[in-house]
Structure 1
């Protein structure tokens, strides 16, 4: 057991090192803890010129499709692809909304833009606090997200010989997680040097279309993150007053 971000940082760096040596690196970790901002490891790998796939399981916090009680995790996955004009990084949990997003909206008294789970009465709701309290999140893509969650749990548990979501749920808190970090060195997997050409082909095809709403832009994984980062570097990072007061109270 140890600090989740420190363990994950070590693992992604080791996976990158192995990828640089042999083209691919895979590191599996058992008995970890929450890695916090999972996308960070994808950004780090992309910056090193690697494609990355990272997975983790969690404690039971989401019902599998058709179930009433939380019996699977919203097991996050990260996929990153390096690109000169800005890396492509998908950072997602397998629930429609992550707990972090729902806590953030609840703190600011806001509703979800569309239903993200069930309240205590078993009704679909846009109330983030009601969903957090019920622990009945809606899987991403309904049964598809449920299936992906089960497969992520299987992959990380088998590859690390670690704890499954079921066993993590028997712990006193959310620790003992199983995690996997896989990296591919793009220079070794694209000996013909077509990485940039192929990535640009796909991203340009996705973004060079008319937007549904006039004046809006077509986004892809990582593009909004870069925009937010640029804004925060210029204007500062907004923090909820309640959270800020709690931080000051600990100083």
Structure 2
């Protein structure tokens, strides 16, 4: 089933307004979710929207909270997200990093007390559209075993590298596991196996079964196309 962009955007906007978002903040938030789905990243677009709503309803996300500048020194800034929407906090801080880079040659902004930023690539595209190289990452809960271990002790922390280009930006957006948990969920919902072995099952065997990997919480770290993509981006930078 395919839904026109404007129809999806309008539907998400209505929900956000009912949840108490101010009009402009609601429009930006709805656009970030809709753009992710338009670009094929359903796991962090429409598929993740119900979780976003639940986080608001349970008080994890403070709808009206605005990020606050804590410290500024030259090209560096540190912000407090005040538990506001992670998408809007991240967008604001990337905007600040872009502004600092215009003045200082480089802008580095740290953000604390926030929550899920959904598709991290959105902020890479934001930087590239502004004509600057963007590098951003975040940490997450422990959901990836260190190499050689069986218990998740580190996060599959997403990293984004974006390079502006006249004929089309080059943007890398990836988690540190070969398949993010959002990607595993997408394969599970489609009833499809992974294209390559993506983790271990409960018995310790490599598997392409997304359900088994979700249950064991033992995804593999990056390699394959993700390793190649990272090598390419480092060359471009």
Which of these residues, 5, 15, 19, is aligned with residue 101 of structure 2? 19
Map Cα deviations across residues 118-142 of structure 1 (whole Å, 9 max, x no partner).
Answer: 1111111000111011111101139
* Offset of residue 2 of structure 1: 2.1
Cα distance between partner residues in 2 of 1:128 and 1:35: 23
Question: What is the aligned partner in structure 1 of residue 186 from structure 2?
Answer: 104
Cα distance between partner residues in 1 of 2:145 and 2:114: 23
Look up the SS of the partner of 1:32 in the other structure: coil
* Offset of residue 78 of structure 1: 0.2
Cα distance between partner residues in 1 of 2:154 and 2:106: 30
Q: Which runs of 5+ in 2 are unaligned?
A: 1-82
* Offset of residue 3 of structure 1: 1.3
Question: What is the aligned partner in structure 2 of residue 196 from structure 1?
Answer: none
Cα distance between partner residues in 2 of 1:2 and 1:68: 34
Matches of residues 1-251 of structure 1 in structure 2 within 5 Å?
A: 1-141=83-223
TM-score by length of 1: 0.56
Greater radius of gyration (CA)? 1
Look up the SS of the partner of 2:183 in the other structure: helix
Cα distance between partner residues in 2 of 1:2 and 1:132: 28
TM-score by length of 2: 0.59
Cα distance between partner residues in 1 of 2:101 and 2:166: 19
Higher relative contact order (CA 8 A, sep 6+): 1
Following TM superposition, where does structure 1 have runs of at least 4 consecutive aligned residues deviating by more than 4 angstroms?
none
* Offset of residue 64 of structure 1: 0.5
Aligned residues: 148
Q: Which runs of 5+ in 1 are unaligned?
A: 149-198, 204-251
Map Cα deviations across residues 183-219 of structure 1 (whole Å, 9 max, x no partner).
Answer: xxxxxxxxxxxxxxxx9xx88xxxxxxxxxxxxxxxx
Cα distance between partner residues in 2 of 1:59 and 1:32: 13
